[in-house]
Structure 1
């Protein structure tokens, strides 16, 4: 059984996508990031960056003690290796998939995240920041659109690369991106969206926190006001 410490954010959705695709038994342990659950001392023992998702594998392949993993990209690699699915089938395919997973982790996720912060959550509108991150998100969409021009999925067969990127494209409208400008992404997005495992994964997220639930000012303060003094609870 996999214990998944989770909240329905793009990084959280990555892991339910893989778990649902692989058919691996798991139990969701909600980490309400608006309430500050990510600062709980017990959670910090295995997720020291006070971020979710994180997992604890109670039945690792070596039969030893439970294994905990934090960071969504590391979790995807761990689970793909555990199940022997969605990462491979050979070294060349793995290299392609890892490149695009790292591209998402270092580029698409952080830039789209800042885009969302300044477009949606920032208490004041900062035109320079809004333009900076909206434009950089568009540049990254262009990179992905070119990649998908002559292939069905990002790196060979459907893989952890697609699972990492898809949740960050879901909020494209909030991030001021029009998929009509990126026809290859649009085709890939619709195909991924229709996968039964994707539908199940997002339904799990709705059970934990409905997507139309507004974020309160107090939750924003907890989520976006993190400094060293309030991460050592």
Structure 2
């Protein structure tokens, strides 16, 4: 059994997408990031960066102590290696998948996260910041669209953890100031993943964890989310 410490954000959805695709048994432990649950001492033992998702895997082939992991990209890679699925075994296929996984972790996620922050959550609307990140989002959409021009999925013909990593960040495309019709290859890929039964099942878990999923964030939650420093991230 895998314990998944989760909240329905793009990074959280990545992990439920894999677990549903692989059919691995897991239990969701909600981490309400709007109420500061990510700063609780018990969670910090698993995720010292006070960010979700994180997992604890209790079923290891060697029968040893449970493995805990934070960082969504590391979790995807761990699960792929554990199951032997969604990560090619050959050298070239593995390299293609991993470079796009890290592209998402280092570029797509952080830049689109800044887009979300300045467009949706910042207390002051800063035109330069909004324009900067909307344009960078558009550039990254273009990178992905060109990549998908001659292949079904990001790493090639097969669905991999690179696709699972990127897809949740495209889901809120309208809030990011983008149009999928401007990126036809990306749109085709996005719609294909959206129709996968495991994707639907993963996103259905969002409301289970957070019955208010999809509702506007309260001002108090914003203060908890965006007021963190080195001195107020532990309790």
SS of 2:106's equivalent? Answer: helix
Looking at structure 2, the residues matched to 214 and 129 of structure 1 have their Cα atoms a distance apart, in angstroms, of: 21
- Give runs of aligned pairs for residues 1-233 of structure 1, distance below 5 A: 1-156=1-156, 157-209=158-210, 210-233=212-235
Cα displacement (A) at 1:177: 0.6
SS of 1:56's equivalent? Answer: strand
SS of 1:45's equivalent? Answer: helix
Instruction: Calculate the TM-score normalised by the size of structure 1.
Output: 0.98
Instruction: Calculate the TM-score normalised by the size of structure 2.
Output: 0.98
Q: CA RMSD in A?
A: 0.7
CA deviation profile, 1:167-225 (whole Å, cap 9, x unmatched)? 00001000001001000000000000000000000000122224332211000000011
SS of 2:42's equivalent? Answer: helix
Q: Structure 1 runs of 4+ off > 4 angstroms?
A: none
CA deviation profile, 1:138-162 (whole Å, cap 9, x unmatched)? 0000000000001000002100000
Number of residue pairs the alignment of both structures matches: 233
Looking at structure 1, the residues matched to 194 and 233 of structure 2 have their Cα atoms a distance apart, in angstroms, of: 36
Q: Identify unmatched segments of 5+ residues in structure 2.
A: none
SS of 1:230's equivalent? Answer: coil
Looking at structure 2, the residues matched to 61 and 105 of structure 1 have their Cα atoms a distance apart, in angstroms, of: 28
